[in-house]
Amino acid sequence: MAKSERTLVMGVLNVTPDSFADGGRHFGFEKAITRAKEMLAEGVDIIDVGGESTRPGAERISSEIERDRVIPVVSELCALGATVSIDTTRAEIAGAAIAVGATIVNDISGGLADPKMAKLIADHPTIQFVVMHWRGESKNMQARATYTDVVQEVRNELSERVASLVDQGVNPEQLVLDPGIGFAKNSEHNWELLRNIDRIQLLGFPVLVGVSRKRFLGDLVGAENPDDREFATLAITTEMARRGVWAVRTHSVKPQLDAIKVVEELHQ
């Protein structure tokens, strides 16, 4: 488990033509590597490589397309010495990424989408596994945004995931939990989870939070363009760092790291 004094920055590297937040600007190997090098120069802690868009309503892509997009990028970044996380729900892609050096598997379904994922993680005990709260495919996930007590239900569903993974041989030390901001949640659900992030932390695992440039921030500050949600993202990073989350998953790196350093200095 990568332990750290401060909150880590996981930089998003979407190798997709249609990610909502960066407009697919980093599609293609060369563009992805160039962007990753920028992030490394800015001091990113982890690079999260993803080939499949998860925006609300997104259709799935084939595993062949996903593999062709992400594996060469993961391989190159690992050769450069970066700590690489693979953002996938497919065990086959996660396995291929581990084989070329990825050390973190970021599964937005927390192992639910692919029954082979738990065994893969159990078979690789040095790999960290991010278990995000998820209620089904992006295509129709917003129809599942129904809760009576969102924090309690997300806690319960994450705990069920942990129990199932541990049952299948995964070491609890491998696990990181993520409330899945924006996944089968409306704006108020997202805010309620962020206000109560300590209740997710109380489950006893490191916590990752991903709010970067998401729509609910745009709704609050009146920013239709994802790029204009950067300051709102930074405010949440600052607060999450103060609350001691393990990592934030963000598109920009330097502003987030600066904010985290400030929090660290203020609370030492």
Task: Please report which helix (H) or strand (E) contains residue 154, including its range.
Answer: helix 150-167
Please name the amino acid found at residue 148. T
Give CA separation, 24 vs 52, 53, 128, 228, 253, in Å.
11, 10, 27, 17, 18
Across 164-255, the runs of DSSP E, i.e. the strands, are 175-178, 208-209, 247-250
Catalytic site includes residue 25: no
3 a catalytic residue: no
Q: How far apart are CA 169 and CA 118, in angstroms?
A: 8
Q: Considering only residues 207-246, where is the footprint of ligand PMM by CB under 6 A?
A: 208, 210
Single out the catalytic residue among 135, 213, 214, 229: 214
In the complex, minimum distance from the CB of residue 268 to ligand PMM, in angstroms, rounded to a whole number: 28
**Burial class of 79 by CB neighbour count within 10 A (0 to 12, 13 to 18, 19+):** exposed
Closer residue to ligand PMM, CB minimum distance, 76 or 87: 87
Work out whether 54 is an interface residue with ligand PMM (CB under 6 A). yes
Residues 157-196 touching ligand PMM, rule: CB under 6 A, are 178, 180-181
Of the candidate residues 19, 109, 174, 233, the single one contacting ligand PMM (CB under 6 A): 19
Quick one: which of 83, 87, 121, 124 contacts ligand PMM (CB under 6 A)? 87
For the purposes of burial, counting CB atoms within 10 Å of the CB of 171, is it exposed (0-12), middle (13-18) or buried (19 or more)?
middle
Per the CB < 8 A criterion, the answer to whether 132 and 105 are in contact is no
Rounded-to-integer distance, Cα 259 and Cα 43, Å? 13
Q: How far is CA 110 from the centre of its chain?
A: 11
Q: Which is nearer to ligand PMM, 46 or 257 (CB)?
A: 46
Instruction: Report the alpha-carbon distance of residue 11 to residue 50 in Å, rounded.
Output: 11
Least distance (Å) between residue 187 CB and ligand PMM: 15
For ligand PMM, which residue of 14, 89, 103, 190 counts as binding (CB under 6 A)? 14
Q: Which of 93, 132, 141, 193 binds ligand PMM (CB under 6 A)?
A: 132
CB 132 to ligand PMM: min, Å = 4
- Among 249, 256, 260, 263, which residue interacts with ligand PMM (rule: CB under 6 A)? 249
Return residues touching ligand PMM (CB under 6 A).
Answer: 12, 14, 19-21, 50, 54-55, 87, 106, 108, 130, 132, 178, 180-181, 208, 210, 249
Active-site residue set: 214, 249
